[in-house]
Amino acid sequence: MSAAHIVGAGVAGLAAAEKLIADGWIARGGTIALYDQAPRAGGRCRSWVDQALGCEIDNGNHLLLACNPTTLGLIAKHAAPDALAGPDRARFDFADLRDGAVWSLRPNAGPIPWWIFAPNRRTPGGGPRAHLAGAKLLFAGRDAVAADCFDVDGPLYERLWRPLCEAVMNADTGEAAAALLGRVVRDTFAGGAAAMRPFIARRSLDDALIDPLRQAIEAAGGTFRFGARLRAIEVEGDRARRLRFAESTIDLADDDVVLLATPPDAAAALLPNL
């Protein structure tokens, strides 16, 4: 019996477990176990009840776009039909707290960005040429960072490109990989308004995504172990042989698999030669 050990029970780990189950891993006699040092599933995608406000709130402003069929598909498959809410059209309202400026970014239908030629549909402070600077991301080299593709002294950088990079990549433009951000631009701006239609969780992220996935995994026979901090992965030859946690060690069989659903820095710490 093959065992799949998934390190990390955030969205990546939950999605990996769901994919294994959908592909028949458990049906063929395998087992799935997810481990996370946190006391719950979801990673950064989590919700909690704020006692002061008296309601459930999310960690950060998580936004889903129509161009993310994988996540939307998981929600459609496992959550309630009304788990998500959003406008019929793509529209993003902005406010610059430094000078009080407000505006709306409203892309048009289709891949040709006619909207950048309409002052009332684009970000103020930069014309069509400044908006098209994002196209440089599509051709960025592997080692380029996002800042290499923009005029960092221009007003559009502070009002559009920098906040977009930080929201999507969770990193400053001087650190974020330009090629990865380019994939986001290709899937969103290059896809037109239909690809950029936004959705948010109607009640909470837990209700829309995390809890339904966790429950589906447990119902299929998967198990979770929370409060489990992985200290090391012992490797012999070209195979992982043991998972050393703070309180226990798991020996791995020849046909077991280990999936690292962790941030890059955590994966590099566990496998320095990765």
More confident site: 151 or 178: 178
CA–CA gap between residue 136 and residue 149 (Å, rounded): 6
For residue 108, which amino acid is it? N
- pLDDT value, residue 209: 93
Q: State mean pLDDT over 226-235.
A: 94
Cα radius of gyration (the chain): 21
Task: Indicate if the pLDDT at residue 1 is higher than 90.
Answer: no
pLDDT on residue 61: 64
pLDDT single digits (tens) 109-132: 988 999 999 999 999 988 898 898
Q: What is the pTM of this model?
A: 0.85
For 20-77, what is each residue's pLDDT tens digit? 999 999 999 999 999 999 999 999 888 888 888 888 888 766 789 999 999 999 999 9
What's the whole-number mean pLDDT along residues 6-14?
96
Average pLDDT, the chain: 92
CA dist 106 and 56 (Å) reads 30
Of the candidates 102, 96, 121, 101, the one whose C-alpha atom is nearest the C-alpha of residue 196 is 121
